[in-house]
A and B are shown apart, each in its own frame.
Chain A
Amino acid sequence: MSDIVIKAENLGKKYIIGHQDESSRYVALRDVLMQSARGLWHKTMDLVQGKPIISGDTMEEIWALEDINFEIQRGEAVGIIGRNGAGKSTLLKVLSRITEPSTGRLTIKGRVASLLEVGTGFHPELTGRENIFLNGAILGMRREEIRRKFDEIVAFAEVEKFLDTPVKRYSSGMYVRLAFSVAAHLEPEILVIDEVLSVGDAQFQKKCLGKMELVGREGRTVLFVSHNMSAIISLCQKGMLLEKGRLQTMGDMHKVVTRYLSSGTVLNGNFTRKEHGLGNKLEIQRINLENNGKTSTVYYNSQKLVVQITYTVSEQLAGAQLTVEVLTESQECLFSTTNLDGDYEKRELDPGNYVAECPIDLQMFRQGTYYIRVTSSIPCIEILDTIDDLLVFEVFDDSSPLLKLGQNRRGVVLPLIKWRHILSA
């Protein structure tokens, strides 16, 4: 049965952005005046011709989406994945009519409700009760419909006591719960959701995921953007991978996720920074995954993996911390460790080049693929550097006595724990 509800043909979206010219950073007052006068003239001309004001000397066209073709059937739940800036959000914005495409054509059958941000249109001065009606109407619910679901929404959000309090007095958790609860009760034919599950506490997230799954089962078409691979796999059967504005692949969600994880990451177990001088106080230059002193992506779980991080400090820093996160194949964080663990004296770092090594014991790891993310920050104060590329490594089980037995065990890790038995009298 071909019951296509969304069809995109050659869809494209172009943005124009301006760049400040390197050579035009004048110092002398005369030059600055000249520059401003010229800027004023250009802006006035833009206004007369009805062009938007773009600050900068050179302009660049950016294709946020290019040549996108796909079809989505009724009742399908489609997950859209891709790295930051791949065009996922732009695609959702075009789909939900917030912005028009620059090229191509998009045909949509049925009404679309989009949820790009929870709590859109919430007014801080209005009470919870009033905001439910306001937010509901903004998301496309009829008043009668909201009234019918009102009690359900309130119960779901667990804010009964504070219904007549202005939401500006709410705790941020309550605010998010209420906002999400309204959204979770939407019942359009096509539901478009951006990364909104990243808010709220874990328990509430789980509740929302359950509610969304229900929505999918009622025959509605759902489009879902997320970085949370396990959520997206559990919600969607079909996946779409975007890369630099282009549709790379579309098909079975599992396969798309696997492809994304292997294509979007650096496969050879090291990372070398290409762009320098981004002005970070601490810049991570190189990351190496080492097995016995050699770069490697393959490990036996009897071996040790060493994460070697080369970084540059450009000014005196106090309390800077490097964090290594180990992620599972579905990008859930297995654990994270920092170079300051167990060393709580705030260390002063003088400018210079440093090498940090983090040895990781692989004994507990199950056989499979893992990822490593490295970040640097001064805790609670600022983020110093984040490496978007994930490093990958694979663990093979060679020695563990659990190799065979462990296949069907539950659990993310597989520790070998020696039990003690004591005969009690």
Chain B
Amino acid sequence: MSTPEFQVEGAPTLPEEPVLVLEPGRADRNYWTDLWRYRELFLILAWRDISVRYKQTVIGVVWAVVRPLLTMVVFTVLFNRVAKLPSDGDAPYALMVFAAMLPWFLFSTSLSDASGSLINSASLISKVYFPRLIVPTAAIVAAFTEFLISFLILVALMFHFRFAPGWNILLLPGFTLLALLASLGPGLWITALNVKYRDFRYVIPFVVQLGLYVSPVGFSSSAIPNEWRFIYNLNPMVGVIDGFRWCILGGDSPLYAPGFALSLMVVTFFLWLGISRFRKMERRFADMI
């Protein structure tokens, strides 16, 4: 009773038919089961986003490698050689930068893809029904595959620097999920707002650009003075990046627990905000888009 059962042979009716009542402002009781029922569409949209991403480009998927790699080189030269900032413990600076680059690019790509997703599928939204939540989440899946590719670079770098990770690396999937959730919350909120007010289309590239310098990507968050460290974690990406570094670099980059807890709370808050705003507005998307 979970998948959409379409009759094949015409004849008798299904034993169980969903009865749907549409009323203004009525909260949909089957919201989450409906979402589950449309999981195939979710997969196909995600697959579409992935396979279309590098169509008609020359080097194709190599772009997913080039971007973080070059940024890493520039940041290492800039922050380590020019600004003489210290690394975490004995970890090579380039590796420390890359360990932050991974979640940062995951976050920024999925945030910008998710927030533009609804407008980009305007024709779909005004012509067919499906749970709208599928669109931004599918966009995030596409960003996630790019993350997996850049992850291979990390492995190569670790071999290069002969840096063996500790047991913490096993917790990396958890932090990856956290990075995704951190982008999903604001992403949902902004993509819904974008439908109504196109201003937000201009806000996101700006936020992402600024965020790269505000988050501890090119430097270690231990470079922040101690009295500010807790407040600094109001930026949820601080917690995520610290978590990544802790997983990859191990003891060289200890996790600052109170700050991490704060980041976690901020992520949860935005996730709640994003989903509730999104659900409130989604029924009128087709009228406004």
Q: Which residues of A contact B (CB under 8 A)?
A: 15, 47, 52-53, 74, 93-94, 96-112, 114, 116-117, 120-121, 123, 125-126, 130, 133-134, 137-143, 145, 186-189, 218-220
How far apart are the CA atoms of A189 and B10 in the complex, in Å?
9
Contact across chains for A126 and B4 when beta carbons are under 8 A apart: no
Contact of A98 among B6, B26, B128 (CB under 8 A): B128
Contact across chains for B10 and A218 when beta carbons are under 8 A apart: yes
Chain A residues with CB under 8 Å of B44's CB are 133-134, 137-138, 143
Contact across chains for B21 and A189 when beta carbons are under 8 A apart: no
Contact across chains for B19 and A109 when beta carbons are under 8 A apart: yes
Contact of B40 among A15, A125, A137 (CB under 8 A): A137
Chain A residues with CB under 8 Å of B10's CB are 218-220
Tell me the dominant secondary structure on chain A's binding face. Answer: loop
A86 → chain B closest CB, angstroms: 18
The 0/1 profile, CB within 8 Å of A marked 1, for residues 275-287 of chain B is 0000000011011
B83 within 8 A of A: no
B240 → chain A closest CB, angstroms: 30
Chain A residues with CB under 8 Å of B13's CB are 74, 189
B7 within 8 A of A: yes
Residues A187 and B286 in contact in the complex (CB < 8 Å), given A126-B52, A143-B40: no
B8 within 8 A of A: yes
B25 → chain A closest CB, angstroms: 8
Residues A105 and B52 in contact in the complex (CB < 8 Å), given A98-B127, A120-B128, A187-B7: no
Q: Give the total number of A-B pairs whose CB atoms are below 8 A apart.
A: 129
Contact across chains for B17 and A94 when beta carbons are under 8 A apart: no
How far apart are the CA atoms of A252 and B23 in the complex, in Å?
29
A90 → chain B closest CB, angstroms: 10
Contact across chains for B22 and A123 when beta carbons are under 8 A apart: no
Nearest neighbor of A103 in chain B, beta-carbon distance: B24
Contact across chains for B52 and A125 when beta carbons are under 8 A apart: yes
Contact across chains for A98 and B56 when beta carbons are under 8 A apart: no
Contact across chains for A138 and B19 when beta carbons are under 8 A apart: no
How far apart are the CA atoms of A218 and B6 in the complex, in Å?
13
B51 within 8 A of A: yes
Residues A101 and B129 in contact in the complex (CB < 8 Å), given A121-B124, A141-B6: no
Nearest neighbor of B124 in chain A, beta-carbon distance: A121
Chain B residues with CB under 8 Å of A219's CB are 10-11
How far apart are the CA atoms of A121 and B127 in the complex, in Å?
9
Nearest neighbor of B22 in chain A, beta-carbon distance: A106
Contact across chains for A120 and B197 when beta carbons are under 8 A apart: no
A-B contacts, 18 of them at CB < 8 A, read A15-B287, A96-B129, A100-B24, A101-B23, A108-B21, A109-B20, A110-B17, A110-B18, A114-B129, A116-B127, A120-B124, A120-B127, A121-B123, A125-B55, A125-B56, A142-B40, A143-B40, A219-B11
How far apart are the CA atoms of A345 and B259 in the complex, in Å?
83
Query: Which interface class (under 10, 10 to 19, 20 to 34, 35 or more) fits B?
Result: 35 or more
Q: Which residues of B contact A (CB under 8 A)?
A: 3-4, 6-8, 10-11, 13-14, 17-26, 40-41, 44-45, 48, 51-52, 55-56, 121, 123-130, 196-197, 283-284, 286-288
Residues A142 and B22 in contact in the complex (CB < 8 Å), given A98-B126, A189-B17: no
B229 → chain A closest CB, angstroms: 34
Nearest neighbor of A9 in chain B, beta-carbon distance: B23
Contact across chains for B52 and A121 when beta carbons are under 8 A apart: no
How far apart are the CA atoms of A231 and B10 in the complex, in Å?
23
Chain A residues with CB under 8 Å of B287's CB are 15, 99
Chain A residues with CB under 8 Å of B129's CB are 96-98, 112, 114
Contact across chains for B18 and A111 when beta carbons are under 8 A apart: yes
Contact across chains for A105 and B51 when beta carbons are under 8 A apart: no
Contact across chains for B41 and A137 when beta carbons are under 8 A apart: yes
Chain B residues with CB under 8 Å of A107's CB are 19-22
Chain B residues with CB under 8 Å of A145's CB are 6, 8
Contact across chains for A142 and B4 when beta carbons are under 8 A apart: yes
Contact of A101 among B24, B121, B128 (CB under 8 A): B24
Contact across chains for A111 and B6 when beta carbons are under 8 A apart: yes
**Residue picked from B3, B6, B55, most chain A C-beta under 10 Å:** B6
Chain A residues with CB under 8 Å of B286's CB are 93, 98-99
Residues A187 and B6 in contact in the complex (CB < 8 Å), given A99-B283, A126-B48, A130-B51: yes
Contact across chains for B22 and A134 when beta carbons are under 8 A apart: no
Contact across chains for A188 and B24 when beta carbons are under 8 A apart: no
Chain A residues with CB under 8 Å of B18's CB are 109-111
A211 → chain B closest CB, angstroms: 14
How far apart are the CA atoms of A120 and B286 in the complex, in Å?
14
Contact across chains for B51 and A126 when beta carbons are under 8 A apart: yes
Chain A residues with CB under 8 Å of B288's CB are 52
Chain A residues with CB under 8 Å of B126's CB are 98
Contact across chains for B284 and A99 when beta carbons are under 8 A apart: yes
Chain B residues with CB under 8 Å of A137's CB are 40-41, 44-45
Residues A138 and B51 in contact in the complex (CB < 8 Å), given A94-B22, A99-B286, A219-B11: no
How far apart are the CA atoms of A53 and B25 in the complex, in Å?
20
B33 → chain A closest CB, angstroms: 13
How far apart are the CA atoms of A143 and B38 in the complex, in Å?
11
Contact across chains for B123 and A108 when beta carbons are under 8 A apart: no
B31 → chain A closest CB, angstroms: 13
Contact of B24 among A53, A102, A112, A138 (CB under 8 A): A102
Contact of A138 among B6, B14, B41 (CB under 8 A): B41
**Residue picked from B44, B45, B56, most chain A C-beta under 10 Å:** B44
How far apart are the CA atoms of A418 and B218 in the complex, in Å?
95
Contact across chains for B56 and A120 when beta carbons are under 8 A apart: no
A11 → chain B closest CB, angstroms: 9
Instruction: Please name 16 further chain A to chain B contacts, defined as beta carbons within 8 Å, in addition to the given A98-B127, A100-B22, sorted by A numbering.
Output: A96-B129, A98-B128, A99-B286, A100-B26, A101-B22, A101-B23, A112-B129, A114-B128, A114-B129, A120-B127, A121-B128, A139-B128, A186-B6, A188-B6, A189-B17, A220-B10
How far apart are the CA atoms of A106 and B13 in the complex, in Å?
21
